Amino acid sequence: MHKLFPGLGPLASYRLSYLTDDITAGIIVTFLLLPQSMAYALVAGVPIAMGLIAATIPLFVYGLFGGSRYLSVGPVSVISLLSLTGLSSIAQPSSKEYIMLIIMLAFLVGAIQLVMGLVRVGSILKYISTSVIYGFTSALAIIIMLNQLPSIIGVDLPSYQGFFSYLNQVFTHLPMMNILTLAIGLGSIFILILFQKKFHVKIGPLVVIILSVLVVDFFHLNKEGIEIVGSIPRDIIGVGLQMPTVDIILSLLPIAITISFISFFESFSVAKTLADKDRESLNPNQELIGIGFANMASSFAGSIPVAGAVSRAAVSYESGAKSNLSIIITALFMLLANFYITPFLYFLPKATLGAIIIIAVKNLINFTPLNLKRNSLQALPFIVTFATTLFIDVFLGIVFGIIVSLGLTLLTNQK
């Protein structure tokens, strides 16, 4: 069975004592994934229902084929933004043509990743310094944390376009912040840190979700300007994949190649970072195949391109997931949540979600490669990747980091 579904391999030596941790992690990630899937669907320019599909079917498929027990494959902000940017020049977002194109895009992304995995292109990562991965993950974590500030302070801000311009927008909008929203955000952060420092059980996110829902509902704080998740639609019926023409494939190919690479690199970066924390190995080709199948499944189900989310993977790690079973549990809970739990989430403050994400991704910031006493050459790929990703562009950060890393490897081998 594990040869057909590699993700289930570790279950052969599964301990019953792991089940509680896997169920807990699965539930906690579900509470984070459900609202995120809706938000990132809107970012991608598609109906919310398509985001719910992307948070369920691909996740289940990755759980069968993927190698990381922490990776929550589904809608992510970067891939949704890239999809919108690449397709909005071809069709009007939310239109029938646009939805058809983004479903085809998900299929192309998955097919490219699957082929790359089968021909073992992922093995090239053996020659790329871990400093590139740490630099990319650290910068991405900071960007994700910054993107939570609007939810924490209760203001609307333009999407992240650059480090300094975004900070300028934050400071400009500070006088308009909602004090109650800030209190909930900071209070949630305090409780999460308290659970991290004082308690051994990793249920902090679940506790703050329940507490914040009860507080907002009891005191009617949603009437005081606090943004809440609100009603969540239960309809998850997609459009479905249609046979594309050659012209459509050629028009989608550039953005599909870009997304397939960034989708994999973002997924593998966080998965590798967390695997390193556990002193475990991770096969990049298996990850390519797992994420490729997940994207193709998303397309067949009528949804959008997906990737492994940095924030959700970090939450899964902090929640103590023990195996891929936690991923499959999340997928099952997503199905159940869409019908039974969504009414409970109506009063969930977005500030609480922002707090959970901030505390989760802070652990992904790793400046170890800057320790020049260990290896000064490791610092350069990190600095290039980190600075380019944070201050210029996510894709360029990956490209420049890999170029510098491979260049240093060749230079070292020649010596």
| Digit-coded pLDDT (tens) for 12-43 | 677 888 899 999 999 989 988 988 888 788 77
Tokens 């230079």 belong to 411
C-alpha closest to that of 282 among 298, 270, 293, 266: 270
**Do the Cβ atoms of 369 and 131 come closer than 8 Å?**
yes
> Do 39 and 52 contact (CB within 8 A), yes or no?
no
Contact 325, 11 (CB under 8 A): yes
Residue with structure tokens 């249609």?
242
Phi, psi of 322 (to 5 degrees): -110, -20
- Dihedrals phi, psi of 180, to nearest 5 degrees: -65, -40
Residue 239: per-residue pLDDT: 57
Question: Residue 409: pLDDT above 60?
Answer: yes
Residue 362 has a CB neighbour count (10 Å cut-off) of 14
pLDDT value of position 274:
92
Q: Are 30 and 333 in contact (CB under 8 A)?
A: yes
pLDDT of residue 113: 96
Cα–Cα dist 130/137, whole Å = 10
Q: Which residues pair with 349 in a beta bridge?
A: 228
Query: What is each CA distance from 376 to 116, 139, 380, 383, 407, in whole angstroms?
Result: 32, 20, 8, 11, 15
Tokens matching residue 101? 């194109």
Q: What are phi and psi of 407, to 5 degrees?
A: -60, -45
- Residues 110, 111, 114, 120: is their CA dihedral positive or negative? negative
Q: What is the CA radius of gyration of the chain?
A: 21
The predicted-structure confidence for 95-141, as pLDDT tens digits, reads as follows 889 999 999 999 999 999 999 999 988 877 666 777 888 888 888 88
What are the E-state strand segments in 235-313? 307-308
Residues in the chain: 415
Burial class (CB in 10 A: 0-12, 13-18, 19+), 227: middle
State the number of CA atoms in the 13 A half-sphere of 7 facing the CB.
26
Please give the DSSP secondary-structure letter assigned to residue 349. B
Residue 392 has pLDDT above 70, yes or no: yes
Tell me the per-residue pLDDT of 317-369, one tens digit each, with 9 for 90 and over: 988 898 889 999 999 999 887 777 778 888 999 899 889 888 878 877 888 88
What is the pLDDT at residue 84?
84
Q: Given this model, what pLDDT does residue 185 score?
A: 96
Angle between helices 310-318 and 130-147 (to 10 degrees): 100
DSSP assignment of 116-163: HHHTTGGGGGGGS-HHHHHHHHHHHHHHHHHHTHHHHHT---PPP--H
Helix (H, G, I), strand (E, B) or coil at 32: helix
Please give the average per-residue pLDDT across 166-195, as a whole number.
93
Instruction: Average the pLDDT over each of 36-40, 191-195, 222-226 and give the range with the smallest value.
Output: 36-40
- Distance CA(404)–CA(398), nearest Å, equals 10
SS (H, E, C) 97-111: HHHHHHHHHHHHHHH
Residue range 394-404: mean pLDDT, rounded = 87
Q: Which residue has the tokens 């960034």?
A: 262
* Spatial separation of the C-alpha atoms in residues 149 and 334, rounded to whole Å: 26
Cβ atoms of 106 and 304 closer than 8 Å:
yes
User: Chain-centre distance of CA 77, in angstroms?
Assistant: 7
